[in-house]
Amino acid sequence: MVARVVRGRSRETDELTFTSTFTVGRDEECQVHLLDEGVARAHLQVVFDGILWWARDLNTEAGSFLGGNRIQLLALPERAEIELGRGGPVLSLAIRSDEAKAPPVSDRVEGEPQSKGRFTSETQIIERYVRPRGDAPAGRETLMLRRAFARVQKRSSRRYRLVLGAVLAALLVAAALLAYEAMKLKALRGTAERIFYTAKSLEVETSKLEELAAEHGDQKSLEQIRADRTKLVEMEQEYESFVKDLGVYRKVPEDEQLILRVARIFGECDVKVPASFVAEVRRFVERWKSSDRLSRLLARARQHGYPAAIAATLARANLPPQFLYLALQESGFDERAVGPASSYGFAKGMWQFIAVTADRYGLKVGPRFNEAIYDPLDERFDFEKSTAAAVRYMKHLSATEAQGSGLLVMASYNWGEDKLRNVITALPADPRERNFWLLLERNKLPRETYDYVLSIFSAAVICEDPRLFGMDLACPVLTSAKPAKR
């Protein structure tokens, strides 16, 4: 194996030749000693197993890349250029003509199914891994075994038994590698969770500071906070890229992809959404499909220009525009709606404020608040003022008890923050644990509130791609949760 640094700073300037395993990194004990700070102390290991050369990233944060793709463990082709961290040094590797070479990249098929059960004879191993089966493409391990077997056939019976033993050992190594990759996948999903919840925690703290600065009219602090939000955007982009590389959505049905992505929009980690929640959302989607209610209410909102105005107000508060479907569930986008009588009086307006909450968020309550009628002097019926108040209310819920969980915001809005506060605050304070499904697991939620949250969420999912669900709807144009083609 010939190694040469073609980009970056290295202690060695000439080509280096290796006949066995060597390590690349900043540590002086590395056989290829790099001087770039972005390289880990022990970054990459190039391994020769007697048949193939392998490149293995040593669990570095910056990663190792071949052809723009991040690698963990890879059989090397005849020539390869490995980038140590994006934009970092590049190591050129070339297998000498007298050394074994990896199968051509185009011949490799990842994820070949493993045999079921245990082998009881060498013949079974040969039938499974060595003899070609039609035109089906073979995986990396299978190709390796077939070539080994071809060499064995040309040797004496004693030599045959020795090499076949090596093949069996290779099978054990392959099984160990598969187990290792499964462990790595689990670890990567854990990393994705940490990235998501770090960003979410920062979002919650930023929202608290923003609310405090706005309350005191501190414009300088507000400007600084808004500038700092660029860091949150960068973290969200990093998470998006990481989830894409992880392949979370690769084998997931399209409707489930939308459910997971809308969950992320509402502040829940998409790699942790329970399967039971996905099933419930599908059930509520079918509820919406069973009538024309969603179509009628969206037509009413569109006729008055409500969706764009609501979405813009939510965006200014750094809340998901999909919260506009809360107004759909509260009042059907009817700004003159009056709710039924309750111990708190009548809830009124598009956002169905009771008098005490309306007063707290700056809305003037009219003199006829105790009557189930429209009152032009009651600002709960003023679309612009009540929408601004509702967004401030949701922002407060998100930054406090809900800890950035949009589903808990919806539950609090419906059940009443006072009733839900003690229930939610009994949950762990960490945003990682404070979520809707843990609330369901530990507490009995009123059926009305459960249906309320699932109805809003499923309407948001449908409106990301109505045709996917067989519905002909004119939905508001929002930031799409529809996944890009992969």
Per-residue pLDDT tens digits for 136-156: 455 555 555 555 555 555 444
Identify whether 485 is part of a domain.
no
Three-state SS letters, the chain: CEEEEEECCECCCCCEECCCCEEEECCCCCCEEECCCCCCCCCEEEEECCCCEEEEECCCCCCEEECCEEECEEECCCEEEEEECCCCCEEEEECCCCCCCCCCHHHCCCCCCCCCCCCCCHHHHHHHHHCCCCCCCCCHHHHHHHHHHHHHHCCCHHHHHHHHHHHHHHHHHHHHHHHHHHHHHHHHHHHHHHHHHHHHHHHHHHHHHHHHHHHCCCHHHHHHHHHHHHHHHHHHHHHHHHHHHHCCCCCCCHHHHHHHHHHHHCCCCHHHCCHHHHHHHHHHHHHHHCCCHHHHHHHHHHHHCHHHHHHHHHHHCCCCHHHHHHHHHHHCCCCCCEEEEECCEEEECCCCECHHHHHHCCCCCCCCCCCCCCCCCCHHHCHHHHHHHHHHHHHHHHHCCCCCCHHHHHHHHHHCHHHHHHHHHCCCCCCCCCCHHHHHHHCCCCHHHHHHHHHHHHHHHHCCCHHHHCCCCCCCCCCCCCCCCC
16 strand-pairing partners: 3
Are 44 and 8 part of one and the same domain?
A: yes
Identify whether 144 is part of a domain.
yes
Per-residue pLDDT tens digits for 439-467: 888 777 889 999 999 999 999 999 999 99
235 pLDDT tier (thresholds 50, 70, 90): low
105 pLDDT tier (thresholds 50, 70, 90): very low
Identify whether 35 is part of a domain.
yes
Would you say residue 353 has pLDDT above 90? yes
Would you say residue 304 has pLDDT above 70? yes
Among candidate residues 165, 185, 205, the one where a domain is terminated = 185
Per-residue pLDDT tens digits for 42-80: 999 998 877 788 899 999 999 999 988 899 888 888 899
Q: How far is CA 225 from the centre of its chain?
A: 25
Are 68 and 141 part of one and the same domain?
A: no
Are 62 and 22 part of one and the same domain?
A: yes
Would you say residue 120 has pLDDT above 90? no
Identify whether 30 is part of a domain.
yes
Are 127 and 87 part of one and the same domain?
A: no
Q: What pLDDT score does 197 carry?
A: 67
Q: What pLDDT score does 133 carry?
A: 52
Please report, in angstroms and rounded to a whole number, the separation of the first and last CA atoms in the chain.
35
Per-residue pLDDT tens digits for 262-303: 998 998 888 788 899 999 999 999 999 999 999 999 999 999
Residues 6+ apart with CB under 8 A from 16: 2, 3, 4, 31, 32
Indicate the number of domains in the chain.
2
Whether the CB-CB separation of 303 and 334 falls below 8 Å is answered with: no
Interstrand relation of 79-84 and 64-66 (parallel, antiparallel or unpaired) = antiparallel
Are 93 and 44 part of one and the same domain?
A: yes
Q: What pLDDT score does 163 carry?
A: 54
Are 136 and 94 part of one and the same domain?
A: no
Are 74 and 42 part of one and the same domain?
A: yes
Lowest mean pLDDT among 30-39, 253-262, 263-272, 413-422: 413-422
Identify whether 371 is part of a domain.
no
436 pLDDT tier (thresholds 50, 70, 90): confident
Compute the residue count for the chain: 486
Are 91 and 136 part of one and the same domain?
A: no
Would you say residue 186 has pLDDT above 60? no
48 strand-pairing partners: 53
Give the range of the structural domain holding residue 133, as residue numbers without chain letter. Answer: 122-185
Identify whether 47 is part of a domain.
yes
Tell me what percent of the residues of the chain surpass a pLDDT of 90. Answer: 41
Average pLDDT, stretch 310-319?
92
Per-residue pLDDT tens digits for 261-271: 999 899 888 87
229 pLDDT tier (thresholds 50, 70, 90): low
Here the tokens at position 306 are 């409500």
> 306: exposed, middle or buried (C-beta count within 10 Å: 0-12, 13-18, 19+)?
buried
Among candidate residues 167, 185, 203, the one where a domain is terminated = 185
Are 40 and 84 part of one and the same domain?
A: yes
Lowest mean pLDDT among 102-106, 244-248, 261-265: 102-106
Identify whether 176 is part of a domain.
yes
Q: What pLDDT score does 486 carry?
A: 37
Return d(Cα 354, Cα 358) in angstroms, integer.
6
Are 46 and 81 part of one and the same domain?
A: yes
> 290: exposed, middle or buried (C-beta count within 10 Å: 0-12, 13-18, 19+)?
exposed
483 pLDDT tier (thresholds 50, 70, 90): very low
CATH of the domain at 62: 2.60.200.20
166 pLDDT tier (thresholds 50, 70, 90): low
> Whose CA is closest to 37, among 81, 89, 90, 91?
89
Whether the CB-CB separation of 301 and 357 falls below 8 Å is answered with: no
Are 66 and 133 part of one and the same domain?
A: no
| Averaged pLDDT score across all residues of the chain | 79
Whether the CB-CB separation of 17 and 41 falls below 8 Å is answered with: no
Identify whether 209 is part of a domain.
no
Are 98 and 147 part of one and the same domain?
A: no
